[in-house]
C-alpha cells in the first residue's frame, strides 16, 4: 500500500466550507416611515447582520426583490405605492449575505409579512434596449476571482450619481438599472458575456430613481445625462424600444403583520 508523503511543515488543504443558506431573516421590524422624514430611499446592509430598507413603498420593495421596474407591476391597492415603510431585519449565519441572498430573504418577508401573492403575464411594453455603441465598448475585463460577488451600488451625491461596478456582467447591470434607476424594463442586447470593472457618473432626470434622485445645483459643473454618460464612459447605448416583458400581477397583498 502506498504511503502519503508530506514535506516538513506541509498542511493538507481543507475543503472550503459550503456557503450557508439565507432562507429568511431571523427577525424583522416593519414600521411606517415617519411623515417628517426627509432623507432618501435606500436598501443596504448596515452591518454584516443588519439589513435596512428605508422609506420604501411595498411596490418599490417588490421591484427590488424581483429585479423589476414598477411599470411591470400591476394590481393591488393604491397604498402599496403611496405608503412608505422602514424595515430593519436581522440576517442569519456568520457571513454577510450578498445581494441575491438579501433579495431572497426580502421575497420571503413579502410573502410572510405582507401576504404577497401574484401571477405573471407576458405583454408588449415600452422598454430600453441596451446595445454596444458605435466604436465598441469601453469596458475593463475584471480580474477578480470567479466567486467574488459582483458590486453594483449607486452612490447618491447632491448633484449626481456615481456607480463604481466590480466583477459585474452587463446582464446584471441591466437588471440593476431596471429595478433601481429607469422607468421601464431594460433588455441586454449587447452580446457581452464577460465580467467587468467600470465607473459610471451621470446627473439623473425626473424619470429616474422614482423621481427621488439628485437634481442640478446652480453653479456646479453638470455631469452628462445617463444616455450620454453610457456612450462616453462605457461605449454602450440605451435606446427606447418596445418588446415582450413579463409583468407581475398582484393577486393579494396586505398591510404588514405585527412585529
Phi, psi of 179 (to 5 degrees): -85, -25
Q: Average model confidence (pLDDT) for the chain?
A: 89
Question: Which cell numbers hold the place of 7?
Answer: 514535506
d(CA 54, CA 194): 33
Structural domain boundaries of the chain? 27-119+247-252, 122-245
Pairing of the two strands 117-132 and 42-45: unpaired
Average pLDDT by stretches of 10, the chain with 259 residues: 51 69 96 90 90 94 92 95 96 90 97 98 95 96 86 84 94 92 93 96 87 62 91 97 95 91
DSSP secondary structure of 73-112: EE-S-THHHH-EEEEEEE--SSS---HHHHHHHHHHHHHH
Q: At what angle do helices 99-113 and 58-66 cross, to 10 degrees?
A: 140
d(CA 205, CA 209): 9
Dihedral angle of Cα 173, 174, 178, 183, to the nearest 10 degrees = 120
pLDDT at 16: 64
pLDDT at 220: 60
CB 249 within 8 A of CB 217: no
pLDDT at 148: 82
Residue length of the chain: 259
Q: What is the pTM of this model?
A: 0.78
Q: What is the pLDDT of residues 56-74, one digit of tens each?
A: 999 999 999 999 988 899 9
Amino acid at each position: 500500500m502506498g504511503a502519503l508523503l508530506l514535506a516538513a511543515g506541509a498542511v493538507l488543504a481543507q475543503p472550503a466550507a459550503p456557503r450557508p443558506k439565507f432562507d429568511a431573516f431571523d427577525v424583522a421590524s416593519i414600521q411606517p416611515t415617519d411623515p417628517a422624514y426627509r432623507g432618501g430611499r435606500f436598501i443596504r446592509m448596515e452591518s454584516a447582520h443588519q439589513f435596512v430598507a428605508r422609506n420604501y413603498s411595498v411596490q418599490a420593495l417588490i421591484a427590488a426583490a424581483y429585479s423589476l421596474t414598477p411599470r411591470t407591476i400591476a394590481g393591488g391597492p393604491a397604498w402599496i405605492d403611496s405608503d412608505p415603510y422602514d424595515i430593519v431585519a436581522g440576517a442569519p449565519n456568520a457571513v454577510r449575505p450578498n445581494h441575491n441572498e438579501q433579495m431572497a430573504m426580502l421575497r420571503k418577508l413579502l410573502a410572510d409579512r405582507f401576504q404577497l401573492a401574484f401571477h405573471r403575464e407576458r405583454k408588449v411594453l415600452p422598454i430600453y434596449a441596451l446595445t454596444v455603441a458605435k466604436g465598441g465598448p469601453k469596458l475593463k475585463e475584471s480580474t477578480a476571482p470567479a466567486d467574488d460577488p459582483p458590486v453594483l451600488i449607486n452612490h447618491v451625491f447632491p448633484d449626481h450619481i456615481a456607480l463604481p461596478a466590480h466583477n459585474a456582467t452587463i446582464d446584471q447591470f441591466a437588471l440593476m438599472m431596471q429595478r433601481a434607476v429607469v422607468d421601464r424594463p431594460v433588455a441586454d442586447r449587447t452580446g457581452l458575456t464577460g465580467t467587468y470593472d467600470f465607473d459610471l457618473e451621470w446627473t439623473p432626470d425626473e424619470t429616474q430613481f422614482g423621481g427621488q434622485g439628485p437634481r442640478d445645483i446652480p453653479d456646479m459643473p453638470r455631469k452628462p445625462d445617463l444616455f450620454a454618460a453610457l456612450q462616453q464612459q462605457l461605449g454602450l447605448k440605451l435606446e427606447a424600444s418596445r418588446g415582450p416583458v413579463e409583468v407581475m400581477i398582484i393577486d393579494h397583498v396586505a398591510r404588514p403583520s405585527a412585529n
